[in-house]
C-alpha cells in the first residue's frame, strides 16, 4: 500500500485527488442507505418507511463507538506518518482491531437484550412496530461487520489511501440494491429484507477490505500474527485521549438526535416518515461533508505532525469550496422541486403534503453541513480532545435538545419546533471551530 505524503505540493490538487474517492464513496453510502427507504416506501408503504427510518436511528446509535475510535485512529496514524514514526503504526493497528471488535461484540449482546426498551424509548408508532422490530434485530446481529469495515477503512485512509475504501463501498452498494429488490420486491420480506440486504452488503465489504489489508501486510508493516493484536499501552493512551472525546461527541450528537426523533415519532408515523426522508436528504450533505472532513483532517494531521502549519488555512478553504459544490445544487433542487424530491421515497399524499412544509428546515440543515466542514477538519486534524468534547456538549446536548424542547413545547411549534431545533444546532461547530482557528493555538496541538 502506497502511503501518500500531503506535506508538500499543490494543496488543491492533492486534496481533490484524495477527497474525490472519499466523496464518491460517501455518495455511494448515501445511496446505500436511501435505497432501503425508497424501495420500502414505494413497495410496502408509509408504516414500513417509518420503521426503516427508526431502524436507521438505532443503527446510528450503535455505531458511535466505532466512528469515534476509528476517526481517532485515522488521525493518529496520519500524525505518526507525518512525524516519521511508522514503527508506531503497527502497534496502533493491532490495538484498534482488538479494541473495536471487542466493543462490537459487547454492544451486540447488550443491545439485543435491550432492543424492545429501545423501541419504546423511541416512541415507535404502533403501525410500524413489527417492521421496526425485525429491522433493528437484524442490524444488531450484523454490527460486527459495520465496526470491522469502519476500522479497516480508517486504517487505509490514515495512510492516505482513499481509493480502496471507495471500491469496497461500491461493491456493498450494488449488492444492497440487488438484494433489496430481491428480498422486498420478489420475496416480500418488507423491512426485514432491507435490513438483511444492508447487513450482507456490509459483511462482504468488510471481508473484501480485510483481504486487501492482509494481502498488503508487508507494505503497511502489520503481519497479522496473533501477538500483533495485543493492546499496546504506548499507543492506547493517545488513542483513548483523542478517541474518548470523539466517542462522547458522536454519542451525544447521536443521543440528542434520537431524543428529538423520539418526540417527532410521537406525532405519528406520517411525521416519522417525513423526518426519515428529511434525514436522508441531510445525509447527502453530511456524508459528502464527512468525506471532505476526513480528507481535510488527514491532510491537516500530516502537516501539523510535520510542523508545516502554513498549509492548513489553504486546506480549510479547499474543504469549504468542495462542500459548496454539493450543498448549493442540492438546496436549489429541494427548494424548486420539493414534491418530486420527496416523491422518490413515498407517494402517499399525506406524507407529501407534510414534506412540503419541511423544505425550509432542509435548507437550514444543508447550510449547517457546509459551514462546519472546514472547522471539523481543523479540530479533528489537530487532534484537540477538549474541543471535540465542547462541540459534543454544546451541539449534542445543550443546543439541540434545549432548543428543540424550547421551540417545540414552550413556543408551541410542535413537531416543527423539534425539527428547527435540530437544524439550528448544526451551526455550533462552525462558531467553536472559527474561534479555535482565530486563536492560533491549533498550530501547537498534536495527538501524539
Cell (9 digits) for 238: 493517545
Give residue 32's pLDDT: 62
pTM recorded for the entire structure: 0.66
What SS3 class is residue 447? coil
Give residue 367's pLDDT: 92
Cell (9 digits) for 212: 486487501
Within 10 Å of residue 226's Cβ, how many Cβ atoms? Answer: 7
Within 10 Å of residue 335's Cβ, how many Cβ atoms? Answer: 14
Give residue 379's pLDDT: 85
Q: Of the candidates 157, 156, 138, which has an alpha carbon nearest to the alpha carbon of residue 201? A: 138
Give residue 5's pLDDT: 62
Give residue 200's pLDDT: 92
Give residue 167's pLDDT: 81
Give residue 296's pLDDT: 85
Cell (9 digits) for 237: 493512551
Identify the helix (H) or strand (E) that includes residue 267.
none
Regions of the chain short of the pLDDT cut 70: 1-6, 26, 29-36, 385, 396, 445-448
Give residue 272's pLDDT: 83
CA dist 73 and 444 (Å) reads 20
Give residue 299's pLDDT: 84
Tell me, what DSSP letter sits at residue 303?
Answer: H
> For the chain, what are the domain ranges?
11-444
Alpha carbon 23 to its chain centroid, in Å, reads 13
CA dist 149 and 204 (Å) reads 9
Give residue 331's pLDDT: 92
Query: Are 140 and 112 contacting, i.e. CB atoms less than 8 angstroms apart?
Result: yes
Give residue 357's pLDDT: 92
Give residue 52's pLDDT: 80
Give residue 4's pLDDT: 62
Phi, psi at 337, each rounded to 5°? -130, 55
Query: Are 134 and 57 contacting, i.e. CB atoms less than 8 angstroms apart?
Result: no
Amino acid at each position: 500500500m502506497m502511503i501518500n505524503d500531503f506535506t508538500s505540493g499543490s494543496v488543491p490538487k492533492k486534496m481533490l485527488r484524495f477527497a474525490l474517492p472519499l466523496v464518491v464513496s460517501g455518495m455511494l453510502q448515501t445511496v446505500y442507505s436511501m435505497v432501503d427507504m425508497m424501495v420500502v416506501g414505494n413497495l410496502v408503504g408509509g408504516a414500513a418507511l417509518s420503521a426503516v427510518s427508526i431502524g436507521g436511528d438505532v443503527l446510528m446509535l450503535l455505531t458511535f463507538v466505532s466512528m469515534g475510535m476509528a476517526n481517532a485512529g485515522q488521525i493518529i496514524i496520519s500524525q505518526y506518518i507525518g512525524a516519521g514514526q511508522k514503527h508506531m503504526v503497527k502497534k496502533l493497528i493491532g490495538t484498534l482491531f482488538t479494541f473495536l471488535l471487542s466493543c462490537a461484540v459487547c454492544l451486540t449482546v447488550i443491545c439485543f437484550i435491550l432492543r424492545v426498551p429501545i423501541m419504546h424509548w423511541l416512541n415507535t408508532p404502533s403501525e410500524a412496530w413489527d417492521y421496526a422490530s425485525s429491522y433493528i434485530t437484524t442490524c444488531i446481529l450484523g454490527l460486527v461487520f459495520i465496526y470491522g469495515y469502519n476500522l479497516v477503512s480508517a486504517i487505509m485512509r490514515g495512510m492516505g489511501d482513499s481509493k480502496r475504501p471507495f471500491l469496497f463501498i461500491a461493491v456493498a452498494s450494488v449488492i444492497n440494491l440487488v438484494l433489496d429488490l430481491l428480498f422486498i420486491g420478489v420475496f416480500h420480506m418488507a423491512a426485514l429484507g432491507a435490513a438483511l440486504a444492508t447487513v450482507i452488503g456490509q459483511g462482504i465489504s468488510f471481508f473484501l477490505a480485510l483481504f486487501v489489508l492482509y494481502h498488503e501486510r508487508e507494505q503497511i508493516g502489520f503481519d497479522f500474527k496473533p501477538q500483533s493484536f495485543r493492546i499496546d499501552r504506548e499507543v492506547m493512551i493517545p488513542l483513548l485521549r483523542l478517541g474518548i472525546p470523539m466517542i462522547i461527541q458522536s454519542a451525544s450528537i447521536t443521543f440528542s438526535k434520537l431524543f428529538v426523533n423520539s418526540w417527532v415519532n410521537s406525532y405519528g408515523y406520517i411525521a416519522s416518515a417525513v423526518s426519515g426522508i428529511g434525514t436522508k436528504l441531510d445525509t447527502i450533505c453530511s456524508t459528502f461533508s464527512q468525506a471532505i472532513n476526513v480528507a481535510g483532517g488527514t491532510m491537516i494531521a500530516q502537516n501539523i505532525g510535520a510542523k508545516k502549519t502554513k498549509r492548513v488555512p489553504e486546506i480549510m478553504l479547499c474543504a469549504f469550496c468542495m462542500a459548496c459544490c454539493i450543498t448549493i445544487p442540492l438546496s436549489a433542487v429541494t427548494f424548486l422541486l420539493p414534491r418530486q424530491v420527496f416523491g422518490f421515497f413515498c407517494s402517499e399524499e399525506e406524507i407529501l403534503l407534510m414534506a412540503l412544509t419541511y423544505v425550509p428546515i432542509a435548507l437550514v440543515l444543508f447550510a449547517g453541513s457546509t459551514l462546519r466542514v472546514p472547522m471539523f477538519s481543523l479540530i479533528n486534524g489537530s487532534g484537540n480532545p477538549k474541543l471535540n468534547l465542547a462541540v459534543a456538549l454544546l451541539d449534542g446536548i445543550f443546543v439541540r435538545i434545549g432548543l428543540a424542547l424550547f421551540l417545540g413545547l414552550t413556543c408551541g411549534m410542535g413537531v416543527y419546533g423539534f425539527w428547527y431545533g435540530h437544524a439550528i444546532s448544526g451551526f455550533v461547530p462552525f462558531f467553536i471551530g472559527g474561534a479555535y482557528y482565530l486563536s492560533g493555538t491549533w498550530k501547537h496541538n498534536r495527538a501524539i
